Amino acid sequence: MTRLGDLVTRDANAFFHQHGSSPCVGALRFARGMWLEDADGKCFIDLHGNSCHHVGHAHPRIVAALKQQLDELCFSPRRFTNRAATELAERLTGRFRNGGSRLLFMPGGSEAIETAIRLACVATGRSGIIALEGSYHGHGMGSLSLSESALDDRLPHRIPGVFHLPPYWDEVQGGGDQMVDALARCLAANSGRIACLVAEPMRSNCHVPPPDLWPRVANLCSIHGVKLIFDEIPSGLGRTGRFFAYEHFDVQPDVVVLGKALGGGMLPLAAVVGDARMNMAPELAIGHYTHEKNPLAAAVGLATLDIIESDGLIEKAAQHGDRLHQLLHDQIVGPFRLVLRGLGLFRALSFQGPTVGGDALISAARACGISTTAKDQTSIGMSPPLAINDSDVIEISERIKMIPDQLSRR
List residues with catalytic annotation. Answer: 136
The answer to whether the beta carbons of residues 285 and 353 sit under 8 Å apart is no
The answer to whether the beta carbons of residues 36 and 46 sit under 8 Å apart is yes
Helix/strand/coil (H/E/C) assignment for every residue in 217-276:
HHHHHHHCCCEEEEECCCCCCCCCCCCCHHHHHCCCCCEEEECHHHHCCCCCCEEEEEEH
| Torsion over CA: 159, 284, 262, 274 (sign) | positive
The answer to whether the beta carbons of residues 95 and 244 sit under 8 Å apart is yes
The one-letter amino acid at 267: L
Q: Coil, helix or strand for 189?
A: helix
Contacts of 361 (CB under 8 A, 6+ apart): 351, 374, 378, 379, 380, 403, 407
Q: How is residue 126 annotated by DSSP?
A: -
Q: Report the phi/psi class of residue 17: left, alpha or beta, with left for phi > 0 and alpha for psi in -120 to 50.
A: beta
| Torsion over CA: 208, 385, 62, 21 (sign) | positive
409: how many CB neighbours lie within 10 A of its CB? 7
Cα separation, 139 vs 132, whole angstroms = 16
Vertex 363 angle, CA 27 and 338, to 5°: 130
